[in-house]
Structure formats: C-alpha cells, structure tokens
C-alpha cells in the first residue's frame, strides 16, 4: 500500500491555505445530518467535539473517566508554545517550525510541522477568549517564558497548571454544546472495538463502566483522541487509566501504527521510591528555566547537597551543552542524567536521581519571584516528598512520558482506515523523534480546534449520499461478539497472578530494553520475553468479579492485554531502525562523544506498521525535506 | 508497616452497604494511601474476592477524580491535599483507618467508595462558559488584563472539581465549587457580558441538584486541595445581592 500523505501543493506558507481552498464544503443543513463519534475528551477530543458541534454536526463524545474534566491533558504543567513574538526576541512562525522540526531530529513531515507553528498564534487568542487566566505583566499583556530546546521566549502559561486551565476551557466549551443539545456525552464509557463497514469506520463498541454492558454506537466518522500509551512502561507520568486500547483495536482493524517506539522519557520526574509505586510524578520542565541540574563530582558522595562546595559539583548539562545548558531538549537531558546515574554519580536514597537546585535563582531573583513562578510545583513537591525545595535541591529522575508515535495520519489527520481520524497525542504527526516542551498542549489543541474541523468535511461531503449506518449491521454483531469473547476469556482464566503482576513485569522489560537506550540484542531478547509474558498472562491471570458490574480489575486486564501486544510492536520498531534519532537511541549508533548518530540515507522515513495476524508488516513514508536541509542536531 | 482498613462496601446504588475490615501488612511509609489500597486489592484478588472500587486517575492531585473520607475527614488527615497525595507516613503502625465514600444527597453512591459527581458537570453546563465559538477570538493582547485580576481569576480557576467541599460541609453545600467558577469567569473582561446570567443559572442549577445552603462553617476551605478561599462565596453573595437590588 502506498502511503499518501496528501501534503498540498505550494510553498510552506501557502499549503494550509491551498488545502482549505480545495477541500469540499458542506452546507449547514447537511451538517446536521452527519454524525461523528469522538473518543476521548482531553484537549484534542473536547476541542474537536465542541468545534464540530458548533459547526452543526451531530456529536457523540466518550470518555472512560467520570467527567470530561479529568482527561490527562489536565496534568500538563508548564505551558503552551505560540509564535506570537510578543517578547520581541526574533521569534516567527518559521523559527518555531524550524525548532520543532530540529527538536524532532528531522523525523516529521515538514508541512505538518509548519502548520502547527502557523496555527499556534490564533490558538492563544482562542484560549484567552475562552477565559484562560494566562500569566500577565503588571500592564496587562501576556507573559512568556522559555522552554527546553529553544532560545526564544514563546511559552504561555497559567502558573504551573497550564494544562488544567486549557482543559477546563475546552471542557466548558464542550459542556456548552452539551447544554445546546449538540453533543451527547458518555462518561464512564470505554471504547472496546472499532466497527468498520465496507472499509470505512462507522462506529464503535463501548463498555459502560458502571453497568459493564457492551453498547453499540454508529456514526458517519470516528475520531480517536485517546492520548498517549506510555503506561506500557507501567511507571510513567501518565494517569493510571491512560491506555493504548483504542489505538490498538483500530490498528488491528487496519489502521497503520507509526513510529510506535518513539517515546519521550521526561528528564524531570520524581524518582521511584519503591516497587509498589504506581506512578511517577512529573515536575514541570519549566523548572529548568531557573533550576540548575547537577550531581557530585565524586562517586557515591554521601554528603548533604548543601555541604558539597561549588567546585565539587558537576553541572553536567552546562558542561556538555554550553549554549543550551539546563534547557537542552528532553531526550538529551534524560540521556545525560541516565549516563551520570549509571556511572555511579546518582543521588538520593536509591542513587537513582540528580539534583535540581534553585539556590542561585533564589539569590538572583529573590524568594518571592521564585514562589510566584513555581509556587504550586514546590508545594506539590513538598506534599509528595515532605521536603522543602526552597532550601534543599529537588531530587529528579527520568520517567516515561509522551508518545511521539501513534496512528499514522495524513495531512488531514485521517488514518489508513477511511473515516477514522486520530488527533492529539494518539497520532504520529508533528513531533518526529522527540517532542519539544510545551508543544504537546499545542498540538492537541490545534488538531482538535483548528485542523480536524477543516479537514473532516472533505471526507464527510461524500458520505452525505450514503445511508447512515445503523447498529444492527452484521459488522456490529461481529465486533460485539468478538469483544464479548475477549472479555469472557479473560474472566474464565482464573489463574494465580494479578493483572498488576503482569504489568510490573511488562514495565520492567520495556524500561530496561526499550526506553532511553536500546540495543539490537536487548530488543530481540525483550520481544521473546514479552511473548512469553503474553502466554503466561493468557494462562495464569486472575480477575475476580463479573462483567456486568463496575469492575476495575477487569478494566485493567483488558487494557493490559493490549499493552502487551503493543510492547512487542514497540520493540520491533526500535529494532528495525539501525540509527539513533531523538528519543530513539541505539547504543550501536552514537558519535565518539556519545551523541545520537542519525543515518539519513537509509532511515529518513516514518515507519508505519500494518497488523497482519499477530505479525507486523513495515511500510515506509519517505520524508521529503523540500525547504529545510536536515543537519546534525547540536545543542552544544 | 501494618494497618487495618475499615472500608465501606456497597455492591450497587440500591444495595445496603456496610463496613468491612481488612488487615494489610508489608506497607512502607513512602507508599501513597492509594498504593496501599492497590496492594489490598491485589491481595483480595488472590483470595478470590471482589476488589474494592475507588476512584483515581492522575494520582498527582490535579484531575480531581480521587477522593474519599478518611477517619472522618475529606481527603484524609491533612488540610489542602487530595487523597492521591496522601502517604502512609501520615499514619501510625497498627492504626485502624476508616474509609468511606463522600456522603451527600447530590452525590449518590455507585459502588463501594465511588460516587456520582455528575451534578458538578451539570452546574458547569448551566453557564460556566463564555459563548464564543472557535475561530471568533480577537487578538490575545488586544484586551489587557492587569496582573492582579488575572491572578485572582487563576486562584478561583484552580478548583479541581473533587467534591471535598461538599463532602466536608454539614449542609452538603456546593457553594465553594460554584462560586469559584463564577468568580473566575466573571472577573475577566471576556466573561463580563454573561456574568449575571451565569450567576443566576449556576446557582439555580446548584439548588436543583439538591446541594444545601452555606452557613459559613468554613470546613470546605480547609479540606479543599487547592485552598480555594471561602471569600469566593462572600463575593458571589455580594454580586447576587447587588443584582437583586440594582437589577
Ligand atoms: S472547591 Fe476545592 S474542594 Fe471543592 S471541588 Fe473545587 S477543588 Fe475540590
Ligand atoms: S487521582 Fe487525580 S487528583 Fe487524585
């Protein structure tokens, strides 16, 4: 199958405009007759659902949480980028595009990345109008700060709760449309399978998480907005309920999965403290604006941080990357931390952390300023660890975070299944092999609010004439029956090990072999180990309770069953890429200085995997760099 | 460390619930309270029993989905944190810890410790938005908002919708939640045009849902994980009075 990216003609600046000029429009009377299912209610899902409803479509929106307001976009702390150039520091759409493309190590599509930057400025206008209380100067204008991987200040923020404020704005907008009876909301409802009729996405099977019953919903198009899948590592910065199941079901029904192994490991999370731990809390990257990262120069130094004199501290990011210093991109900062920790310089009780120190910033700007900038983050740190970071440096450590990979989508955000779209973190589009800080809220919002509502019409225009699908179609029967069999099977195993046991095992394998650094040998071993784990799961897992009730254990079990299979694909993907790029670091491919060694001649493509009865076939979308010449990505 | 959890079990909304005691051993002080419950659930599975239903998602204090009554206090023994931010170091070895769901008429129990807080969503739905469509916004800096006003709006907007204010109020009042949202939007220039409608609709919906009145006991402010100030309620009442008097 030829992957057609559908990138429009013209110069970079003209592409999006050209696309919109040529795409088909639908008159308001006809929009009412068209229905769209949106799965997920985070920034991209709620943004898409609200905006499509405003345009007149008939919308159904689903989320597994008790309310749309819980979606994990809520947890993004640091901010959202936009090329407003308010700080008069030389920013522009083109510079933002270039930073993002370079940040992704030249493994994303130029046209998509440019569009992301292009639509960033109107997005800030949008959120301000929706009542987001962004940080302001005394005079009333908007404030910006810098973030990793860039040298201008283009990040907008609302204290350390930017994601929360953006999500609540989109949640409000969504509920406005629910009130207007244009959106039907289904909370506590989880997509269990996708229904494809004559090759087109026409509906979903849902499990009602309160009654446990399976339900059917049909529509003219389906939009997945289900977020990232880093819970495959079990310990991650994600919410516990985040899962990859909707993506995985779509993948098994024909949607190609792109670059599944591109996973961002965030450099500044709180370190793991025990085996029972369920999640790793993120400390916003914005802290690296003012905090300095260091470890002792001496191995296994057991002195208190304040007793270690300046000259015995190794500010390793400033040392290795003098021009970006503590603001080096995430993949680089994480790897550098891992390098120091592995070499025996780690600090903290389990020697698995590095220091993030605010002493100099407090001396320079005063305590009040630092409190104003990061107060709630310091509070959060204190609540979790019991430690006051105004007087003692924070302990931080890398943690699995963002999925750059996801369902392959074209310029219209449509997957390889016609009528199935993927927006936000669950698609692979703009970030390449590494995402820049504060670009995630941006991409989720731009996808949902601005792009999808202007591309879905191009598909739906042709669906007006088609009969609207109904849930008594044989494909619905089939999908529901398959889902039922799957659940019955899980409940019938009645083995000896808990779901969490298997999740911990999967997490260990993935973290060991498919996280910050990877090797051919390790990945091959991991694939075998996961296959064994899969067999073991299907023979020995134990889930109590029934299907037809609220059963949180059953939910965990079917999500994990999909994570296990996804884990195999992630390792397979990492194995085929004999190069290092961005977050994908293969130990065999590095420079003498230990930096990533990209192999553009062979690997300048997006891997897109087709599911084939338990095997995966590789397709390649070659990346054309028409406007920018890929260079060695240096932050030195 | 070893503790005894005394936990409310209730099969479904109509079933009669009751407390059941569970001893859990091998906990550490660094474990979060929810991780201790996770461990208990794993033990229950291995004993062929049904797991306890309780809610959470982010486990970092921001989504608002977690929330139980612990030894008679919403979100446990400390002020201003969420249940997921509570750690076992806050309890003594050998302690008995009583865990109950939020109790309020407007928050019916679904199962065990899980309650239905959709009443909050309906309050939001009744008016907590600015009626501008996507694509209609003016340039962001065209309407300056002084820092103090933006900061104040942010203070009110920080609410995570957990419901602890309702659960800790003897009248089960939702005034803290509702007033915070109203003040967030009404204090911003963008929200001004619809301010009186918002105030009326949201308070009307709040009454309709069966939340009680506020008698200024102040328990909500203490248990609120975001420290939303009770001044929000006074401010909302003042706006309401002003509207009544001057239209
Ligand atoms: S006001 Fe506070 S206690 Fe009440 S719902 Fe909001 S965050 Fe929770
Ligand atoms: S689980 Fe999200 S606030 Fe506690």
Report d(CA A392, CA A359) in Å as an integer. 8
Specify whether the CB–CB gap between B111 and B12 falls below 8 A: yes
CB A608 within 8 A of CB A3: yes
**Judgement on whether residues B175 and B99 belong to the same structural domain of the protein:** no
> What number is the average pLDDT over the span A550-557?
98
Predicted pLDDT at B11 = 96
pLDDT of residue A544: 98
Report the SS3 class of residue A506: helix
CATH number of the structural domain spanning residue B128: 1.10.1060.10
Cβ contact A420:A255 at 8 Å: yes
For residue range A321-339, what is the model confidence (pLDDT) as tens digits?
998 999 988 889 999 999 9
Residue B214 Cα to ligand 1 middle (Å): 15
Amino acid A537: pLDDT:
98
- Asked if residue B34 has its Cβ within 6 Å of ligand 1, the reply is no
Residue A149 has pLDDT above 80, yes or no: no
CA distance B150 to A133: 5
Compute the mean pLDDT over every residue in chain A, rounded to the nearest whole number. Answer: 95
The pLDDT value given to residue A151? 87
Residue B240 burial (10 A CB sphere; 0-12, 13-18, 19+): middle
Please report where in the chains the tokens 């004999």 appear, as a residue: A578
Q: Which residues pair with A618 in a beta bridge?
A: A609
ipTM: 0.98
Residue A103 and residue A443 in contact, taking contact as beta carbons nearer than 8 Å: no
A392 touches A308 (CB < 8 A): no
- Residue B185 CA to residue B196 CA, distance in Å, equals 11
Q: How many angstroms does the Cα of residue B59 sit away from the middle of ligand 1?
A: 16
Structure confidence at residue A593 as a pLDDT band (50, 70, 90):
confident
Query: Rounded to an integer, what distance in angstroms lies between the CA atom of residue B206 and that of residue B210?
Result: 7
Are both B222 and B169 inside the same structural domain? Answer: yes
What is the residue range of A595's domain?
Answer: 474-604
Give the HSE-up count for residue A414: Cα atoms under 13 Å, Cβ half-sphere.
22
Per-residue pLDDT at A427 exceeds 70: yes
Q: Structure tokens of A364? A: 């320079």
Mutation site for A-interface testing, chosen from B81, B129, B151, B191 by largest number of A Cβ within 10 Å: B129
Instruction: For Cα atoms B37, A231, A80, give the angle at the middle one, nearest 5 degrees.
Output: 110
* For residues B98-105, average pLDDT: 97
Choice among A330, A340, A577, A586 that is catalytic: A330
Contact A50, A173 (CB under 8 A): yes
What is the whole-number distance in angstroms between the Cα of residue B66 and the centre of ligand 2?
5
pLDDT of B53 > 70? The answer is yes
- Interface contact A66-B116, CB threshold 8 A: yes
Average pLDDT over residues B46-61: 97
Residue A504 annotated among the catalytic residues of the structure = no
- Condensed to tens digits (0 to 9), the pLDDT of residues A276-293 reads 899 999 888 889 989 999
* Residues B148 and B192 grouped into a single domain: yes
Same-domain pairing of B125 and B71: no
Please give the full DSSP string across B118-144, using - where no structure is assigned.
HHHHHHHHTT-S----TT-PPPGGGS-
Question: Domain containing B70 — which CATH number?
Answer: 3.10.20.30
For residue A578, tell me if it sits in a domain. yes
**CA of A176, closest CA in chain B: separation in Å?**
6
CA of B67 to the centre of ligand 2 (A): 8
Which residues in chain B have Cβ-Cβ distances shorter than 8 Å to A499? 45
The pLDDT of residue B247: 66
User: Is residue A289 a contact partner of residue A325, using CB atoms and an 8 Å limit?
Assistant: no
Across A253-257, A297-301, B175-179, least confident range:
A297-301
pLDDT of A467 strictly over 90: no
Q: What is the pLDDT of residue B65?
A: 98
Work out the average pLDDT over A10-14.
96
* Ligand 2 pocket, CB under 6 A: B 56-59, 61-66, 82-84
Q: How far is A444 from chain B (nearest CA, A)?
A: 15
Please tell me whether residues B150 and B216 are part of one structural domain. yes
Same domain, B99 and B163: no
Across the interface, whether the CB atoms of B58 and A161 are under 8 A apart is answered no
Mark yes or no for CB contact A67/B118 under 8 Å: yes
Query: Among partner residues B32, B46, B110, which is closest to A542 by beta-carbon distance?
Result: B46
Ligand nearest to the CA of B184: 1
Q: Answer whether residue A283 is part of any domain.
A: yes
The parent domain of residue B190 ranges over: 117-134+142-246
Task: Please say if the pLDDT value at position A172 is more than 90.
Answer: yes
Chain pair A-B, CB pairs under 8 angstroms: 219
Inter-residue contact A433 to A100 (CB < 8 Å): no
* Rounded Cα–Cα distance for residues A200 and A198 (Å): 6
Q: Which helix (H) or strand (E) holds A128?
A: helix A120-129
Q: What is the CATH number of the domain that holds A486?
A: 1.20.58.100
Q: Which two tokens stand for residue B171?
A: 């009248």
Domains held by chain B: number = 2
The average pLDDT across A604-632 equals 96
Residue A77 phi/psi, 5° resolution?
-95, -50
Confidence of residue A372 (pLDDT cuts 50, 70, 90): confident
B53/B23 same-domain check: yes
Structure tokens that stand for A432 in this block: 């390449």
pLDDT at A148 over 80: no
């Amino acid at each position: 199958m030829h992957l057609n990216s559908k990138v429009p003609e013209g110069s970079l600046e003209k592409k999006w405009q050209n696309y919109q000029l040529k795409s088909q429009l639908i008159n308001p009377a006809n929009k009412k007759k068209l229905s769209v299912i949106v799965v997920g209610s985070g920034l991209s899902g709620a943004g898409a659902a609200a905006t499509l409803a405003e345009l007149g479509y008939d919308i159904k929106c689903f989320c597994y949480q008790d309310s749309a307001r819980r979606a994990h976009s809520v947890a993004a702390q640091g901010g959202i980028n936009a090329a407003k150039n308010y700080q008069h520091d030389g920013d522009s759409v083109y510079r933002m595009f270039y930073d993002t493309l370079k940040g992704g190590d030249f493994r994303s599509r130029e046209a998509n990345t440019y569009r992301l930057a292009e639509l960033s400025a109107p997005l800030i206008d949008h959120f301000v109008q929706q009542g987001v209380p962004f940080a302001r100067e005394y005079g009333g204008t908007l404030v910006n700060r810098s973030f990793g991987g860039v040298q201008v200040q283009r990040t907008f923020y609302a204290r350390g709760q930017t994601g929360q404020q953006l999500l609540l704005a989109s949640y409000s907008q969504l509920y406005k449309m629910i009130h207007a009876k244009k959106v039907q909301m289904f909370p506590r409802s989880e997509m269990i399978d996708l229904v494809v009729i004559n090759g087109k996405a026409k509906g979903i099977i849902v499990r009602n998480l309160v009654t446990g019953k399976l339900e059917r919903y049909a529509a003219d198009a389906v939009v997945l907005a289900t977020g990232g899948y880093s819970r495959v590592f079990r310990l991650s910065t994600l919410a516990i309920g985040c899962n990859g199941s909707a993506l995985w079901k779509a993948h098994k029904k024909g949607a190609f999965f792109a670059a599944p192994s591109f996973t961002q490991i965030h450099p500044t999370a709180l370190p793991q403290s025990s085996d029972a731990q369920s999640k790793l809390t993120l400390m916003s990257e914005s802290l690296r604006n003012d905090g300095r990262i260091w470890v002792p120069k001496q191995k296994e130094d057991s002195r208190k941080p304040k007793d270690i004199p300046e000259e015995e501290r190794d500010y390793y990011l400033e040392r290795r990357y003098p021009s970006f210093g503590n603001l080096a991109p995430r993949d680089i900062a994480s790897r550098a931390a891992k390098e120091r920790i592995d070499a025996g310089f780690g600090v903290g009780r389990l020697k698995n952390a590095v220091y993030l120190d605010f002493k100099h910033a407090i001396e320079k700007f005063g305590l009040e300023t630092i409190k104003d900038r990061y107060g709630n983050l310091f509070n959060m740190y204190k609540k979790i660890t019991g430690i006051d970071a105004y007087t003692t440096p924070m302990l931080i450590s890398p943690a699995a975070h963002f999925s750059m990979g996801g369902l392959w989508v074209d310029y219209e955000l449509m997957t390889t299944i016609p009528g199935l779209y993927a927006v936000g973190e669950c698609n692979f589009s703009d970030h390449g092999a590494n995402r820049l800080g504060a670009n995630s809220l941006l991409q989720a919002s731009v996808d949902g609010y601005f792009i999808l509502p202007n591309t879905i019409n191009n598909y739906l225009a042709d669906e007006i004439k088609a009969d609207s699908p109904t849930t008594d179609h044989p494909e619905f029967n089939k999908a529901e029956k398959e889902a039922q069999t799957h659940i019955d099977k899980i409940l019938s195993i009645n083995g000896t090990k808990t779901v969490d046991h298997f999740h911990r095992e999967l997490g260990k394998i993935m973290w060991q072999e498919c996280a910050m650094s990877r090797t051919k040998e390790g990945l091959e071993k991991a694939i075998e180990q996961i296959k064994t784990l899969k067999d073991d799961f299907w023979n020995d897992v134990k889930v109590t309770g029934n299907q037809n009730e609220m059963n949180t254990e059953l939910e965990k079990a079917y999500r994990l069953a999909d994570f296990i299979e996804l884990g195999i694909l992630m390792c397979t993907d990492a194995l085929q890429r004999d190069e290092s790029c961005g977050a994908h670091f293969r130990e065999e491919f590095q420079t003498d200085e230990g930096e990533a060694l990209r192999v553009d001649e062979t690997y300048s493509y997006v891997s897109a995997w087709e599911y084939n009865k338990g095997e995966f076939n590789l397709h390649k979308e070659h990346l054309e760099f028409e406007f920018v010449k890929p260079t060695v990505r240096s932050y030195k | 460390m070893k503790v005894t959890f005394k936990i409310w079990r209730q099969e479904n909304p109509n079933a009669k619930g009751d407390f059941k005691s569970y001893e859990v051993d091998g906990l550490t002080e660094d474990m979060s309270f929810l991780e201790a419950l996770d461990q208990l659930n794993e033990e229950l599975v291995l004993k062929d029993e049904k797991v306890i239903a309780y809610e959470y998602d982010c486990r970092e204090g921001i989504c608002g989905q977690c929330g139980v009554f612990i030894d008679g206090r919403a979100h446990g023994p400390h002020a201003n944190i969420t249940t997921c931010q509570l750690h076992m170091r806050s309890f003594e070895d050998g302690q008995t810890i009583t865990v109950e769901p939020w109790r309020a008429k407007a928050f019916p129990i679904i199962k065990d410790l899980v309650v239905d807080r959709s009443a909050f969503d309906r309050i939001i739905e009744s008016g907590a938005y600015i009626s501008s469509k996507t694509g209609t916004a003016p340039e962001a800096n065209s309407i300056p908002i002084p820092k103090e006003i933006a900061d104040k709006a942010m203070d009110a907007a920080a609410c995570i919708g957990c419901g602890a204010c309702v659960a800790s109020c003897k009248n089960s009042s939702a005034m803290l939640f509702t007033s915070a949202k109203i003040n967030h939007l009404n204090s911003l220039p963008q929200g001004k045009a619809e301010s009186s409608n918002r105030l009326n609709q949201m308070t009307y919906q709040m009454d309709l849902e069966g939340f009680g009145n506020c008698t200024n006991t102040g328990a909500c402010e203490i248990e609120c994980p975001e420290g939303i100030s009770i001044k929000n309620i006074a401010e909302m009442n003042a706006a309401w009075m002003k509207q009544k008097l001057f239209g």
